[in-house]
Chains A and B, each alone.
Chain A
Amino acid sequence: MDLPIRLAKDSKTPIYHQIEEQVKALIAGGHLQAGTALPSIRALSKELEISVITTRRAYLNLEQQGFIKTTQGKGTFVAEVEADKKKEVTVAAIYQALEKGIETGLRHDYSIEQIEEVFTEIIAKLKEKGEKANGELD
């Protein structure tokens, strides 16, 4: 089967790491259930237009971390992942996304305080929208 993985070519995150993160997110989000067959290393490499060396590295790391398992001659499958571990992945993804935003601010010479202000503003806007949406529902 194919996986909905998109590689950001311009990203500084290594490609194998991007694959790992996205597969973990698919598993943590319940989009890939335990026992689901994953594409072979060769097939995924063709799909993503990368070397099997890179794909193998991602699969090895995922296997070591217990997210997938390979059975000789049968292929690679999604492993049973505990709820705690899934939660960890989600939390890590949120942290990472926020960190990235903060880094963007710092790169544009914003101070931490200024970034905090932006953050508060965004949250405030979202809350306002949420209240409106709720209001309409009522």
Chain B
Amino acid sequence: MESWIKVNQMEKNMNDFKMGPIELEFESGMIHVIVGGNGSGKSTLFKQIMNLVTFDAGSIEVFGSNVAGEDEGWKKRIAYQPQTLVGCDEFTGRQLMQLISPLYPNWNQSLFDDIARSLSVPLNKKFGKLSQGVQQKLAIALTLARDTDILLLDEPTSHMDIPAKSRVMDLFVEWMERGEKLIILSSHQTEDIRKLADYLLFMSNGKLHGKFVKDELVSSFKKYWLEKELSSQIKLPGEIDRKNNRLIVTNDAEKAEAYLLSHKIGWIEAESLEMDEVISYMVVNKNGGVL
């Protein structure tokens, strides 16, 4: 595990939007999934990493090179897939492949052919004539075949059907096993997160709310059905939600349980949360605070 991308105290001020300061590292060997709503700043962060959008303070380094610097050699080692490909509509998949492949020294033709075939992408149809889901499949074939060290994917599976999504998840896993690799993807899909993520990152309003090892985060959440009502004056450690003063949700299960035990408060059942519940609490923290 090496830190391949470093974001140092990066800030950007737009008219009605302030981004950062963001301090963050992405490590090799890991799949990082960034979760955040529209306008959270995740697409902007991707573009800043690719030096397509500027920032006002701080710095971003990819393989030790400043992205805003003269040397752009690092760009050959990173493949970025935006949410929508602009300017491709008039080209067929095959033509796009012929345009893109010479730009990448590691272009892997057989990998492209395999992916296009396994996802049933028609290469003779114009991009603009394809459905959004098929456009995404083609985009993935065009991105993965570059065989770069880093993949930066902005909501790559959002329009795909379930079988295609599952195939693409396998492709990502296979791609990670091609060597020392790093994937950063943004996604709203719980499946992507459950099956792929090593680290989860949450963004909203241009701020980053932490980077978590997926299963450590999930296991820190727990809900308790208490035997008796808990006075609304008392707050459990890590409490983030409660219903009827009997059902309490905490994001610090260890401390909450210690508290219940030491105060002789009994519970009928303690249960872990599902991934989508954890994400909901992380994205929309009901108490307004930042976790």
Contacts and interface: CB of A to CB of B under 8 A. Distances in A.
Given A42-B173, A42-B177, A45-B198, A50 B272 contact: no
Nearest to A50: B215
A51 B271 contact: no
Size class of the contact patch on chain A: 10 to 19
A52 B177 contact: no
Nearest to B254: A12
A5 B265 CA distance: 34
B215 to A, nearest CB: 4
Given A10-B270, A42-B176, 14 more contacts: A9-B272, A15-B215, A42-B173, A42-B177, A46-B173, A46-B196, A49-B275, A51-B199, A51-B216, A52-B30, A52-B198, A53-B30, A53-B198, A53-B213
A43 B198 contact: no
A51 B197 contact: yes
Size class of the contact patch on chain B: 20 to 34
6 nearest A-B pairs in the assembled complex, by CB-CB distance:
A51-B198, A9-B272, A50-B215, A49-B194, A51-B214, A51-B213
A54 B219 contact: no
Contacts of B129: none
12 contacts: A9-B272, A10-B271, A15-B215, A42-B176, A43-B173, A43-B177, A45-B198, A46-B173, A46-B196, A49-B194, A50-B215, A51-B216
A40 B29 CA distance: 13
Nearest to A40: B177
Contacts of B247: none
A15 B219 contact: yes
